[in-house]
Amino acid sequence: MALNNTYDARLLAQETMVGAGVQLLLLALLGTAIGMGPAGWLTGLAFAIATWAVLTRALRRSQPRSFGPANRVTLGRAILVGGVTALVADSFQSSPPVTLLVGLTAVALILDGVDGKVARRTGTSSALGARFDMEVDAFLILVLSVYVAMSLGPWVLLIGTMRYAFVVAARMLPWLNAALPPSMARKTVAALQGIVLLVAGAGILPHEATAGAVLLALALLVWSFGRDIAWLWRRGGRRTAGYVSPSSLPVPARSEG
């Protein structure tokens, strides 16, 4: 039997529409369970629409032959992150259902170690999959940092915004867009952010211990970013000739998930 190696826009559109539909179903279930207010509903809906639009655009640009099993896992994580986002937004108006928020977050973090393995075992690693995975991770950390900042203070937002600050800086300094070598330390520090923020959000530790753990996680993140920036500077930041457009630089395939 011959394999279908052609780009099928309609089939891919069905995948993203199913994802959007499941996201709306999750929001409906959360709304029914906790009586979610307008802030939670609007934020959750905005997340669902934005995810569908951005993913659809990315698929049209990359034109993969199929959505792939690993991307389905990542899409499932994105749906859970949408639920967490709605709950965090709703917590500004009412007491958050901590158990539910922690549960959704924990599953999303566990699945973070699944999509990469699925991609490697099925031979479906791709730049799109790596980017999708990274963006879901980054947004979850941002949302968790917002939630934890409500109890520890705005300094926690540095954890969630650091990656986005790096993206903004890379638009002005193209040498920051170069691909970094694989690093277990980077991977460990990144994973630690979600775990520490999850524990902090669960409120299972004394306030002082929670603040200390989050501060340590922030310090490790600053070290990790600083180390990578120093490597990129030594590799290309010192040179002014031969600048490469950020859009033409490769995104590393999903290999560390």
Per-residue model confidence as pLDDT tens digits over 34-84: 889 999 999 999 999 999 999 999 888 888 888 888 899 999 999 999 999
Whole-angstrom Cα distance, residue 53 to residue 55?
6
CA angle 62, 177, 188 (to 5 degrees): 95
pLDDT band at 3 (very low <50, low <70, confident <90, very high): very low
235 DSSP assignment: I
pTM exceeds cut of 0.85: yes
9-248 CATH: 1.20.120
pLDDT tens for each residue of 124-183? 788 888 889 999 999 999 999 999 999 999 999 999 999 999 999 999 998 998 888 989
Q: Does the pLDDT of residue 114 top 90, yes or no?
A: no
Burial of 238 (C-beta count, 10 Å sphere; 0-12/13-18/19+): exposed
Q: Does the pLDDT of residue 17 top 70, yes or no?
A: yes
Mean pLDDT for 200-213 is 96
Boundaries of every domain in the chain: 9-248
Give pLDDT, residue 89. 95
Q: Does the pLDDT of residue 247 top 70, yes or no?
A: no
Q: Does the pLDDT of residue 235 top 50, yes or no?
A: yes
Whole-angstrom Cα distance, residue 227 to residue 48?
35
- Is 142 within 8 Å of 81 (Cβ atoms)? no
